[in-house]
Structure 1
């Protein structure tokens, strides 16, 4: 979809990403669990069903679920905009592989996904950031999000979170 220097691409999640996505999620499971929360064993047991459901969300226009791939085609990040069919209630989520941290991939991916969202009529995006994750907070700040205060954590996360918002 979009290609900057370095060979990164933002692509809508599709069934062809199945193998690369499972590798991305399994290799980074512990890392993601430390920073966000664990998806749980059921996520991997039902991986194909979960992927098909997410692809259907893209196809129906309900969400914009994306992967960021590098020059070799490996998935290095995910950027998800949920509920784009509710232009004031869209929610952003993203995760970057441990080995790809600190290279601006999250900021680039979020910026590209927000550009796509504007084209789909989204007017406001909400996000959550763990209070223990200053790098993710910086990504949101660089992407124009403002802190709005404490918020409920994502399902399964024991961490404290702050809510953020950006009007597009």
Structure 2
């Protein structure tokens, strides 16, 4: 868990930015951050998930990319976040592409992603990474936004 403190700093520094695009995770998430992170690290270690961070040349976390349930035939789900200050540099596309390559190497057959209809930049990232629009989908917990589902075979 060498990235625990920088990851928490990344999430806290960008909380309002992410909440405006996806929805807020709530105070409980942040008050129990280390417990949530320990659960994700255990998933990663067991091969159930693939959790990645993108670190810049200064050693700062500028993005994270998660693929959860990679051990299941369906549904492996992609999630990613890029720091507000790092937007527009291709980091999301690079991070997603890199994570998909790792997932394909582990035998993941298909990946799904959700994106808010009000987040055109994230929709472009998915399209650049070979995802196709599937249709409307339920929003993540805590979000009141309208979401679309995308899918890609690996």
Residue in 2 that maps onto 1:90: 76
> Deviations 1:120-156 (Å, cap 9, x if unpaired)?
1101000001000000000000000000110000110
Q: What's the CA shift string for 1:11-33, capped at 9, x where partnerless? A: xxxx1101101110010000000
2:129 matched residue in structure 1: 143
Instruction: Measure how far apart 1:87 and its partner are.
Output: 3.4
The answer as to 2:49 corresponding to 1:63 is yes
**1:88, distance to aligned residue in structure 2 (A):** 3.4
Kindly indicate whether residue 70 of structure 2 is the aligned counterpart of residue 118 of structure 1: no
Q: What secondary structure does 2:3 align onto?
A: helix
Number of aligned residue pairs: give it.
154
Deviations 1:80-105 (A, max 9, x none): 00000013310000000000000000
TM-score (norm 1): 0.90
Alignment equivalent of 1:32, drawn from 12, 15, 18: 18
CA distance, structure 2, for counterparts of residue 91 and residue 100 of structure 1:
23
Could you tell me the TM-score, scaled by structure 2's length? Answer: 0.98
What runs of 5+ residues in structure 2 fail to find an aligned partner? none
Aligned to 1:77: 63
Query: Are residue 134 (structure 1) and residue 98 (structure 2) matched?
Result: no
Deviant stretches of 4+, over 2 Å: none
Give the equivalent residue in structure 2 for 1:161: 147
Q: Classify the secondary structure of the residue corresponding to 2:115.
A: strand
The structural deviation recorded for 1:66 is 0.8
Correspondent of 1:45 among 4, 20, 31: 31
**Equivalent residue number for residue 9 of structure 2:** 23
**Structure 1 counterpart SS, 2:64:** strand
How much does 1:44 deviate?
1.0
Q: Which runs of 5+ in 1 are unaligned?
A: 1-14
Q: CA deviation at 1:72?
A: 1.2
